[in-house]
Amino acid sequence: MKTINTEVKLGPLALRNPVITASGTYGFGEEYAPLCPVERLGGITLKGITPEPRMGNPVPRLAETPAGLLNSVGLENPGLDEFIASYLPKVRELPTAAIANISGFSVEDYTHMARALQKESGLAAIEVNISCPNVKHGGMHFGTDPASAEQVIAAVKAETDLPVIAKLSPNVTSIVAMAQAVARGGADIISLINTLLGMSIDIEKQRPVLANTMGGLSGPAVRPVAVRMVWEVSQAVEIPIIGMGGILTWQDAVEFLLAGASAVSIGTGNFVDPQAPLSVLEGIEEYCQRHGVSNVSELTGLAWKGNI
């Protein structure tokens, strides 16, 4: 049995393997350490942070659906200063790549956080969550307006030497237009997809299940949408992609790689099985063995490269 080279290079970001955990599903890393050997992961995307602490939305803010999960957590987090003072020292001890995730409500919010994190050690990259309303421009979400998305990514790039990952929302007319916009802004990597907007109604109480009415849908229900968007974006831009959305098994992960992703991120699957990332990685390696693939990176885009 030959050894498979699992290392992947996403532009300036090198990972020991292509399996990452998604923001908001793995805490700040240490929470899952007793359940999953994090040193075997390609990387961990940390819980999202904002400039100031946030209590999040009222409960209930989670609701299971037949094939997924609705969440309206509302970016609950300790805030930038507390993250740097209390959480980052522990993050530095993690034996894998740690990716910060930042959210803001103005360009200044993002640049402030990028500037602060640039001064700190222990982070491998910054993922920019642009699925937030721009309060200075009528509440339009950064992630649904190409010009705003390009602006915020360019602003973050100007403040940090760390690789910048633009996390794209699927709630758009053209995912390709959004990807091209963040590429123009200088994004090193694109991650997609974030959650799809959805809702559920309690028919006995005759009102929405979530206190905030609507929430983000994740899990297997969104996977075909995510695969399609990875397929489209990978053929439209030159920068590497982290594919996510409903990955529970290694077969799901391989599908994303073949569609054009260079790495995959597991989110809701961590709630189902905290060791899902390990089984996904092992399955990818076995798949490579069976198909005579020496380097995992060879899988990226194979589903469309052979048809051009």
For 202-228, how does the pLDDT look when each residue is reduced to its tens digit (9 = 90+)? Answer: 999 999 999 999 999 999 999 999 999
The pLDDT of residue 138: 59
**Which residues in the chain show pLDDT less than 70?**
133-140, 307-308
233 is a domain residue: yes
Annotation: binding site = 23, 47-48, 71-75, 101, 129, 167, 193-195, 219, 245-246, 267-268
Q: Is residue 42 a contact partner of residue 242, using CB atoms and an 8 Å limit? A: no
CA dihedral (184, 103, 52, 160) in degrees, to 10, reads -40
36 in active site = no
Helix (H) or strand (E) holding 163: none
3 is a domain residue: no
Domain that holds residue 193: 8-305
The pLDDT of residue 139: 56
The pLDDT of residue 32: 87
Among the listed residues 204, 222, 179, 225, the one whose alpha carbon sits nearest the alpha carbon of residue 66: 222
1 is a domain residue: no
The pLDDT of residue 307: 62
- Rounded to 10 deg, the angle between the 250-259 and 276-290 helix axes is 60
Which CATH number covers residue 214?
A: 3.20.20.70
2 is a domain residue: no
Count the domains in the chain.
1
Is the peptide bond between 193 and the residue preceding it cis, with omega within 30 degrees of 0? yes
Question: Which amino acid makes up residue 103?
Answer: S
159 is a domain residue: yes
Annotation: binding site for substrate = 47, 71-75, 129, 194-195
Annotation: binding site for FMN = 23, 47-48, 101, 129, 167, 193, 219, 245-246, 267-268
Which of 38, 98, 130, 132 is the catalytic position? 132
72 is a domain residue: yes
The pLDDT of residue 141: 83
The pLDDT of residue 33: 85
The pLDDT of residue 136: 61
